[in-house]
Amino acid sequence: MESVGSIIMYAVVALTIVICSVLAVTTRKILRSATYLLFTLFATAAIYFMLDYEFLGGVQIAVYAGGIVVLFVFAILLTSRPGHDSEKLTSRSRRTGLVAAVATAIVCGWSLCSRSALMAGLPQMSNPDMKLIGARLLSSDAGGLLLPFEAVSVLLLACIIGAVVIGRRR
């Protein structure tokens, strides 16, 4: 049995996620959409904190909320004028989208709800220690993640170069 505080906390966070994500995809002002995305990301970070992954939550806020959303904002400012709305959705495209979303929700929701394993409570876990995370990330032993780490670093490099090349004014 959880404490009432954590239940309230959960309800707030979950509601934020639900509402903001819906708003993010339905609002016609693109800048608002980015803002709702920011809220959703923060709420996600909150979930991570609630699940005792503080480091991950931190990364989420720093990279996603801090980095990516800023990128979005810049991009939006570069590609649209203030007050410029997105076009109105046609009912047909709205219907397609809704069908897709609802179908996904039904299939996934049904398959989630039919698993009894997901009805278990939160097991005990000590917070992952920063040192442990770092060591694991840079270890080449069994279970070490040096290779993906390096691969990602190369990928990031490639992305940087790619972004520069693509974005460069010709």
Partner 1 sequence: MEITALYYLLPALFMFCAGVYGFITRKNMIAMLISLELMLNGVDMNFVIFNRFLFPGSMEGMYFTLFAIGIAAAETAVAIAIIVNLFRSKGNVDVTGLNEMKF
Partner 2 sequence: MDATLPIIILALPLFMFLLLGLAGVKMSHKAAAWLGILGMGTTATLSYITAFTYFFSQNPEFVSATGERLQHVVFNLTWLAFTPDLVISLGFLLDPISALMLVVITTISFMVHLYSLGYMEGERGFQRYYAFLSLFSFSMLGLVVATNIFQMYIFWELVGASSYLLIGFFYTKHSAVSASKKAFIVTRFADLGFLIGILVLSYYSQTFDFIRLTTDSSWVLASTGGATFMGASVLTWALVLIFMGGMGKSAMLPLHIWLPDAMEGPTPVSALIHAATMVVAGVFLVARMFPVYILEGSATTIIVVVGALTAFYAAMVACTQIDIKRVLAFSTISQIAFMMVSLGVASSGNGEVCHHGLGYMASLFHMFTHAMFKALLFLGAGALIHAVHSNDYTAMGGLRKYMPITHWTFLIGCLAIAGIPPFSGFFSKDEILSAAYAWSPYVGIWMTVVAALTAFYMFRLYYLIFWWNNPDYGHHTPHDSPWCMNVPLVFLAAVSCVAGFIPFGHFVTWNRMPYDIHLDPVIAVSSVVIALLAIALATRMYARENSLPARFRAAMPRLWDWCYHRFYWDELYIFITHRIIFNGICRPIAWFDRHIIDGTMDSFATLANRASDEIKPLQSGQIQQYVWIYLMGALALGVITILCLI
Q: Which of residues 127-146 bind partner 1 (CB under 8 A)?
A: 128, 132-133, 136-137, 145
Residue type, 74: F
Interaction partner, residue 86 (partner 2, partner 1, none; CB < 5-8 Å by kind)? partner 1
Interaction partner, residue 7 (partner 1, partner 2, none; CB < 5-8 Å by kind)? partner 1
Q: Which of residues 64-123 bind partner 1 (CB under 8 A)?
A: 64, 67-68, 71-72, 74-76, 78-80, 86-87, 89, 93-94, 96-98, 100-102, 104-105, 108-109, 112-113, 117-123
Tell whether residue 8 is a contact of partner 1 (CB under 8 A). no
Minimum distance, C-beta of residue 155 to partner 1, in the bound complex (Å): 6
Q: Which long-range contacts (CB under 8 A, 24 or more apart) does 37-46 make?
A: 37/69, 37/72, 38/65, 38/69, 40/16, 41/65, 41/69, 42/16, 43/13, 43/14, 43/16, 43/17, 44/17, 46/9, 46/13, 46/16
Q: Which long-range contacts (CB under 8 A, 24 or more apart) does 111-119 make?
A: none
Tell whether residue 150 is a contact of partner 1 (CB under 8 A). no
Options 130, 138, 146, 160; binder of partner 1; rule CB under 8 A: 160
